[in-house]
Structure 1
Amino acid sequence: MWSIGELAEHAGVTVKTVRFYSERGLLPETTRSAGGHRRYGPESLDRLRLIRSLRTLDLPVSEVVRVLDRDDALEDVIAGQLRGLGSQLASLRWQEAALQLLRDCTAEERVDRLRLVGAVATPPSTAALARFWRRTLPARLPARLVSMVLDAAVPQPPADPTPAQVLAFARLHALVSDTRLGTDDYRPAPLPPAEEYRPTVLYDGLSEAYALASADLRARRPPGAGEALDCFVSAYARSRGTRDTPAFRNHLTGQVARSADPVIGRYWQLTAELTAPPSGPAEPTAGAAHFWLCAALKTQIGRPAPVPLTP
Structure 2
Amino acid sequence: MPGLRSGELAEAAGVNPQTLRYYERRGLLAEPARSPGGHRLYPPEALTLLQVIKAAQRLGFTLDEVAELVDLGTHRHGRRPDTSLQKRAAAKLVEIETKIADLQAIAASLRTALDAGCEDLTTCATTDCCPISLAGFDHGDKR
Cα distance 1:23–1:102, how it changes in 2: closer, same or farther (>3 A)? same
| Other-structure match for 1:14 | 16
| Other-structure match for 2:102 | 91
Shift of 1:109: 9.8
Cα distance 1:110–1:5, how it changes in 2: closer, same or farther (>3 A)? same
Cα distance 1:109–1:4, how it changes in 2: closer, same or farther (>3 A)? closer
| Other-structure match for 2:33 | 31
Return the letter of the residue paired with 1:95: I
Cα distance in structure 2, aligned partners of 1:3 and 1:16: 13
Return the letter of the residue paired with 2:99: Q
Deviation per residue, 1:140-185 (Å, 9 max, x gap): xxxxxxxxxxxxxxxxxxxxxxxxxxxxxxxxxxxxxxxxxxxxxx
* Consecutive unaligned residues in structure 1, runs of 5 or more: 122-311
The alignment status of 1:55 with 2:57, answered yes or no, reads: yes
Return the letter of the residue paired with 2:134: G
Cα distance in structure 2, aligned partners of 1:91 and 1:73: 27
Q: 2:128 aligns with which of 99, 104, 112?
A: 112
Shift of 1:39: 2.0
Cα distance 1:38–1:97, how it changes in 2: closer, same or farther (>3 A)? same
RMSD: 3.0
Deviation per residue, 1:126-145 (Å, 9 max, x gap): xxxxxxxxxxxxxxxxxxxx
Does structure 2 conserve the Cα–Cα contact (< 8 Å) formed by 1:29 and 1:44? Answer: no
Identity of aligned residues (%): 35
Cα distance in structure 2, aligned partners of 1:24 and 1:118: 42
| Other-structure match for 1:82 | 93
Shift of 1:117: 0.9
* Consecutive unaligned residues in structure 2, runs of 5 or more: 74-82, 119-123, 138-143
Does structure 1 conserve the Cα–Cα contact (< 8 Å) formed by 2:9 and 2:47? Answer: yes
Cα distance 1:79–1:113, how it changes in 2: closer, same or farther (>3 A)? farther
Deviation per residue, 1:189-243 (Å, 9 max, x gap): xxxxxxxxxxxxxxxxxxxxxxxxxxxxxxxxxxxxxxxxxxxxxxxxxxxxxxx
Deviation per residue, 1:243-287 (Å, 9 max, x gap): xxxxxxxxxxxxxxxxxxxxxxxxxxxxxxxxxxxxxxxxxxxxx
Q: Which has a greater percent of helix?
A: 1
Does structure 2 conserve the Cα–Cα contact (< 8 Å) formed by 1:29 and 1:39? Answer: no
Cα distance 1:106–1:42, how it changes in 2: closer, same or farther (>3 A)? closer
Pairs aligned (count): 121
Instruction: Give the 3-state SS of the residue equivalent to 2:60 in structure 1.
Output: coil
| Other-structure match for 2:47 | 45
Does structure 2 conserve the Cα–Cα contact (< 8 Å) formed by 1:2 and 1:40? Answer: yes
Cα distance in structure 2, aligned partners of 1:105 and 1:93: 18
| Other-structure match for 2:79 | none
TM-score relative to the length of structure 2: 0.66
Does structure 2 conserve the Cα–Cα contact (< 8 Å) formed by 1:2 and 1:41? Answer: yes
Instruction: Give the 3-state SS of the residue equivalent to 1:114 in structure 2.
Output: coil
